[in-house]
A = this chain, B = another copy of it.
């Protein structure tokens, strides 16, 4: 009986910098990068399961075998796409929160200020960063709402930043309960990711008055909306809470 023998080929070549490099290196037109871009775009717009490795390869003008050469498996492609922009983003977001806490406006640290610091790198990237960043955020929206492996994946990449935000919120709202903070963040997460998902939903609902792609409009409202939600839920209402619980 021949059991399925595990793949021996490692996940891609040894990445030493020197020898045998591809056509272009300083340029962003490596085949590897093209594959990631193609996958990012397709996964974001159609979901992981609706896109085949062949689709990705075709869009990247590359043979399917090359995709497996670099990333071993389809899930490997996905992970690489997901990871590529996460690190940059997370560093910025933590820096923004810290900077705001170190020098808030007159009146001190507010919930809205913290939320805005937490969100601004995302909206900045999606507005100024070009379509690839928009694709990336749409991809995150997909993952965040995936019931299979979404929760685990999001936790792996984004929990540090989020815990950082929640710690800061805890300082800004000393009377808040942790459950209230976590649920409030959960609602924020849902509102944010649906906005990033660009489903065209709001376009249809509003008969064209609002556009899914108009992140500036979303950004102008979201921080205020969410901050008000946090304050309404997290600021001492223990009497009411006991009644509803």
> Using a CB–CB distance below 8 Å, which chain A residues touch chain B?
44-47, 49-50, 138, 141-142, 144-148, 150-152, 154-155, 159, 162-163, 178-180, 182-195, 197-206, 209-210, 212, 217-218, 220-222, 224-233, 241, 244-245
Q: Is the interface of A mostly helix, strand, loop or mixed?
A: helix
Q: How many copies does the complex hold?
A: 2
- C-alpha gap A170/B47 in the complex (Å): 36
Give min CB distance, A228 to chain B, whole Å: 3
Contact residues in B for A159 (Cβ distance below 8 Å): 204-205
The 9 lowest CB-CB distance pairs between A and B, nearest first, are A190-B194, A228-B232, A49-B49, A225-B229, A187-B191, A151-B199, A151-B201, A151-B200, A228-B228
Residues of B within 8 A of A147 (CB): 44-47, 138, 141-142, 197-199
A183-B218 in contact (CB<8A) = yes
A187 touching B195, Cβ below 8 Å: yes
Among B150, B191, B220, point to the contact of A191 (Cβ < 8 A).
B191
In the bound complex, residues from chain B placing their C-beta under 8 Å from that of A244 are 220
Whether B226 lies near A152 (C-beta < 8 A) is: no
Q: Is B145 touching A209 in the complex (CB atoms < 8 A)? A: no
Chain B residues within 8 Å of A224, by CB: 229, 232-233
Residues of B within 8 A of A203 (CB): 151
Q: 25 pairs across A/B with beta carbons < 8 Å? A: A46-B147, A47-B147, A49-B50, A141-B147, A144-B201, A145-B193, A145-B194, A145-B199, A146-B199, A147-B197, A150-B199, A151-B204, A159-B204, A182-B209, A183-B221, A184-B221, A185-B205, A186-B191, A186-B205, A190-B190, A193-B194, A220-B244, A225-B229, A227-B232, A228-B233
| Nearest CB in chain B: distance from A245 CB, A | 7
Partner of A192, one of B154, B190, B197, B241: B190
Q: What's the least CB distance linking A84 to chain B, in Å?
A: 20
A219 to chain B: closest residue by CB: B244
